[in-house]
Structure 1
C-alpha cells in the first residue's frame, strides 16, 4: 500500500528532537528510547530520552507562555483547540497507523478509537468550555475561575492520544500551559500530536513535549517548583509515587490509576445484546484498558448460559496481525506485559479456577509477537487475585450471585472503583442498582464512555483522585477566587 508506506516513512521514524517553546529543539541527552512493534518484536524507531535539563527548559517555556495565554478570552482558546481537533481529524488514518504499529491495536479500531476519540474529546471539551461558569455570582460574591498555571501531563501507552487529549485539551481551555511526558512504550503518537499543535497555530510554549524515563523526566516534572498541577494516568504504584512527591510541593494531583470493574447482568438482562457488549467492553484493545469491564457478575440460575455464550463469542474473536483484515485483537504491548498476564492465568489455574477458553499460550501460528488467546474463567472466588487484581490483559472472570444485594456486594468488593456496567430490561432498575455501586462511572445497558465525553471520568479508592472530561475535567486545572464586596 503506497499510502501506508508513506505514513511509515514520515511518522514511524527516529525522533532526535523535543518540542519546546514552539520549536523542535535538540536535547543535551544522548540516550534514546527504542520503540518496539509488539506484533513483530522489531524496533521501528527510536526517540530521544530527555533529562532534567530538558524539563527545566520546557517548564520555563510553559511558565513564560501561560500568563498571556490565560488572559486570552476563552472563545479564542476554544477556537485554537478546535483547530487542533481539526488537525488530528485530518490525520486520522496516519495516526491510526502509528498507534497500530507501536501498540498493536488492530488498524480499523486504531483509526476509529485510538485516533478518533481524541478528536471527540477535544471537541466535547470545547463545547463544555464555551458554557462553563468562568465567572458567576454566588452567595453575595463574584466567583472567578482562573488558570492554575503550568501543568505536567504524564500519559500512558494503552490509549495514548486519547489520554493526551483528555489532559491537554481541558488544561489549554482553562488557560494553562502544558508539559507532556508520554509513555516510553508508545511515544511516537505524541510527536505526531505536537506536529498538530504546531499546525493549529497554538502560541509557542503553551504545549511542550519531553520524552524520557519516569524516574528522571517524570519526577523532575512533578517536583519542579513552577509546576502547579500534575495529571497522571498510570499504575497505582506510579500514582502513589507521584502523590508522595507532589505533596512536598503542595501540588494538586489528578490521578487516574486503573480498575477492576464489574459488569452486572441482572436476571432480566437481554443476553443477546449484553454478551457481545460484555465481551467487547472487557477485551477491547486486548483488555489493556483501565476501564475494562473484566468481571462479569451473572445470576446464579443463568450463569451456565452466560458462560456458554461468553465462550462462543470469545472464540469467534480473531487474534493476529493488527494490519490484517478481520483482526479483532492484537498483541499485548510488551513481553513483560504478556508474561504478567500469563502469571495471573497460571495463578488462577493453580488455585482451582476453571478455564473455559483461552489459556497462557499464544494462538497457533503466532509464535512471534506478544500475543495471547483471550481467556474466560469461572469458579473464581470473588476475593481471589484474578477477581481482585488488574490483569490488564484479555481475561474475563464470571462471578455468580443470588439476588441484587449480593450482585452489588460483589461489584463493590474491590479496592478499585473506576467503571462498571449494569444490564436490565428495566432501565430504571438498572439505574437504581448503578446508584449502589461504589465506582466513578457506571454504564447502563452498554453505553460506552466515548458516548458521553461531556460526563466526568475518574475513580474511587485505588482508582485515583480527581476527574477527567466535562466540566469536572476543566476544573482540575483552575483556581477558584471569591471576590467579596
Structure 2
C-alpha cells in the first residue's frame, strides 16, 4: 500500500483501509479480485486501493443487510439512538485524522474538525421521536392510529465532493429509522466513508447494519437500485445519473429521493451590504474548489452597482490562495483529470461565447501545480443568461456575472435554469426579501447568506432538475419510514 507521507501530510493507518470493503461486518475484497487506485488529486499519488466490485458483491451485501434487519429493526429506538451517539463521539475523537484523510482524497484544504459527529447527534436525537398519530373512529369501541416503520434493506449512492458528511447524513438517518443499508461511495473518494463505517463497528453498531460496497457506478452502483430487495433508495449526484437511478428504481417501484445538481443564483441589489455580499459570493464559489452542488455560480446583479460588484469580486478572489492540502490555502485542486478537463472546457466555452474574462481562466503556474488538477478562480462578466456557462453546472470555481435592470428581471433570470437547489438574495429591504423568498424557485433560499446555512436543521433538497425529497432536516429520519394505518375494534361490531 502506498500512502501519502512525510511532513506534507500523513494518513492514520488505524482509519485507512486498503483493498477491502465492508459486507456483513467483514472486511473483504471484491468478488472480481480487481481493485481501483484512489488518487490524491494534488499530486496523483496513490493513497490506497479499493475493491472494484460488481453485482455479485452487491448481492452479498444485500443478503448481509437482510440478515441483520430483524434484530436492528426490533431494537429499542432509544438504543439505536444511543449507538449513533457513541458513533458520533468516536468520530469527534478521530476528527483530525478524518479531516486529513478526506482532504487528501478530495483535494480540499483542511476544514478543521469535521461536522459528521454533529450531524449524527442531530439525527440520533430523532431516532426515538418517530411518532404515529391517532385517528378518529366511527364508534367508541374502536381505535385508529398510524405506525411509522422502516422500509427494510435500503440503498444509497453518494458522490465524491463531501464523502464523509454525505455518508453520515444518509446512513445515519436510514439506520436511526431501523433500516439496514447498502451504500456505494464514489470511487474517487471512498476512504472516508470506509473509515466512518469502521468506527461504527467499533462502537457496537451490529455487523450487516451498514454495508459499504466500492467500485464504479456502472458496475456496483447500478446494481443497488436494480436489486428487488432494496426497498428505498437515496442518490446524490448529477441529474444525468439521477435519471438512470430513477429508471432502475421504477422497475421495482422502489421509492427514492434525489439530490441533484445546482446552478445557484446570488441576486444582489443596490441596497445590499456589498462587503458581506462579496465575501459570501467569493467563498461560495471557491469552497471545495466550487465542487459543491449549492455553489453560488451565478451573480445576478442590479445594473447600477454591476461594475462595482465585479471589481470587488475580482479583488476578493485575487486573494484566494491555491495549493495542496498540506498548505494553509483557501482552495485545492479539482478531484480528478476528468473534472479538470471539464472545468477548463467550460472556461473555453465562456471565452468562445463572448463573455468577458475578468479573472483567472487557466492553470496556476509553478512546480507544485504540475502534477495536480489545479485551476484558477475564474470570473466571467457580461454573461448572457442563455450562454452555456450560465445554464449548465460547471462544478468548479467559475463565476458568471449577469447584469439586470430591476427586481422582476432579477427573479426571472434567477429562475431561468433547469435547476432549483439553492438561491441567495442580498438586500436590506425586508419587503424585497419576503418577495424573493416566495419568488425564487429553489429548495433553500438564503437572505444575506451564501448557502442559506444559518438555520439549524433546515431540510435540504431541490426543485425542478435539482431533485426531490429532503435530508438533513428535523424530519430526516421520517423520510426513511413508511406509514401503516391500524384500525382496532371489538369482534362482531358492524363495519361502515
* 1:121 equivalent in alignment to 2:123: no
* 1:136 equivalent in alignment to 2:136: no
Cα deviation code 1:200-230 (max 9, x no counterpart) = 2101211111111111211211111110011
* 1:147 equivalent in alignment to 2:150: yes
Q: Is the 8 A contact 1:152 1:180 kept in 2?
A: yes
Aligned residue pairs total 477
Q: What's the counterpart of residue 462 of structure 2?
A: 459
Deviation of the 1:121 alpha carbon: 1.6
Which segment drifts farther, 147-156 or 421-430?
A: 421-430
Cα deviation code 1:215-265 (max 9, x no counterpart) = 121121111111001111111111000101110100011111111011111
Q: Is the 8 A contact 1:117 1:450 kept in 2?
A: no
Cα deviation code 1:130-155 (max 9, x no counterpart) = 444x2222455412111011111111
**Match for residue 240 of structure 1 among 240, 243, 250:** 243
Distance across 2 between alignment mates of 1:117 and 1:448: 16
Q: What's the counterpart of residue 177 of structure 2?
A: 174
Q: What's the counterpart of residue 211 of structure 2?
A: 208
Q: What's the counterpart of residue 356 of structure 1?
A: 358
Deviation of the 1:31 alpha carbon: 0.8
Distance across 2 between alignment mates of 1:83 and 1:245: 35
Distance across 2 between alignment mates of 1:344 and 1:356: 15
Q: Which is helix-richer, 1 or 2?
A: 1
Deviation of the 1:6 alpha carbon: 5.8
Structure 1 residues 395, 4: closer, same or farther in 2, change over 3 A? closer
Secondary structure of 2:187's aligned partner: coil
- Return 5+ residue gaps in structure 1 as ranges: none
Distance across 2 between alignment mates of 1:164 and 1:52: 21
* 1:61 equivalent in alignment to 2:60: no
Structure 1 residues 275, 358: closer, same or farther in 2, change over 3 A? same
Which segment drifts farther, 277-286 or 363-372?
A: 363-372
The residue correspondences of 1:187-266 to structure 2 (distance < 5 A) are 187-266=190-269
Structure 1 residues 337, 3: closer, same or farther in 2, change over 3 A? closer
Q: Is the 8 A contact 2:126 2:176 kept in 1?
A: no
Q: Is the 8 A contact 1:120 1:453 kept in 2?
A: no
Deviation of the 1:476 alpha carbon: 2.4
Secondary structure of 1:240's aligned partner: helix
**Match for residue 332 of structure 1 among 315, 323, 334:** 334
Cα deviation code 1:282-340 (max 9, x no counterpart) = 22000000111111111110011110110000000001121112x00000001110110
Deviation of the 1:427 alpha carbon: 4.4
Q: What's the counterpart of residue 414 of structure 1?
A: 417
The residue correspondences of 1:285-324 to structure 2 (distance < 5 A) are 285-324=288-327
The residue correspondences of 1:271-286 to structure 2 (distance < 5 A) are 271-286=274-289
Distance across 2 between alignment mates of 1:453 and 1:163: 17
Which segment drifts farther, 471-480 or 305-314?
A: 471-480
Cα deviation code 1:158-207 (max 9, x no counterpart) = 00111111100110111100111100001111221111111121012111
* 1:7 equivalent in alignment to 2:11: yes
Distance across 2 between alignment mates of 1:2 and 1:335: 25
Secondary structure of 1:442's aligned partner: strand
Deviation of the 1:368 alpha carbon: 2.2
* 1:76 equivalent in alignment to 2:79: yes
* 1:161 equivalent in alignment to 2:160: no
Structure 1 residues 446, 368: closer, same or farther in 2, change over 3 A? same
Distance across 2 between alignment mates of 1:378 and 1:102: 33
Q: Is the 8 A contact 2:423 2:451 kept in 1?
A: no
The residue correspondences of 1:91-106 to structure 2 (distance < 5 A) are 91-106=94-109
Question: Could you tell me the TM-score, scaled by structure 1's length?
Answer: 0.94
Secondary structure of 2:247's aligned partner: helix
Which segment drifts farther, 222-231 or 431-440?
A: 431-440
Distance across 2 between alignment mates of 1:4 and 1:66: 43
Deviation of the 1:59 alpha carbon: 0.5
* 1:386 equivalent in alignment to 2:386: no
Distance across 2 between alignment mates of 1:17 and 1:419: 37
Structure 1 residues 77, 450: closer, same or farther in 2, change over 3 A? farther
Distance across 2 between alignment mates of 1:283 and 1:6: 25
* 1:475 equivalent in alignment to 2:472: no
The residue correspondences of 1:429-440 to structure 2 (distance < 5 A) are 429-440=432-443
Distance across 2 between alignment mates of 1:192 and 1:450: 27
Distance across 2 between alignment mates of 1:423 and 1:363: 35
Q: Is the 8 A contact 1:39 1:331 kept in 2?
A: yes
Question: Could you tell me the TM-score, scaled by structure 2's length?
Answer: 0.92
Deviation of the 1:106 alpha carbon: 0.4
Distance across 2 between alignment mates of 1:355 and 1:254: 38
Q: Is the 8 A contact 2:268 2:302 kept in 1?
A: yes
Distance across 1 between alignment mates of 2:8 and 2:68: 37
CA RMSD of aligned residues (A): 1.8
Distance across 2 between alignment mates of 1:398 and 1:221: 40
- Return 5+ residue gaps in structure 2 as ranges: 138-143, 489-496
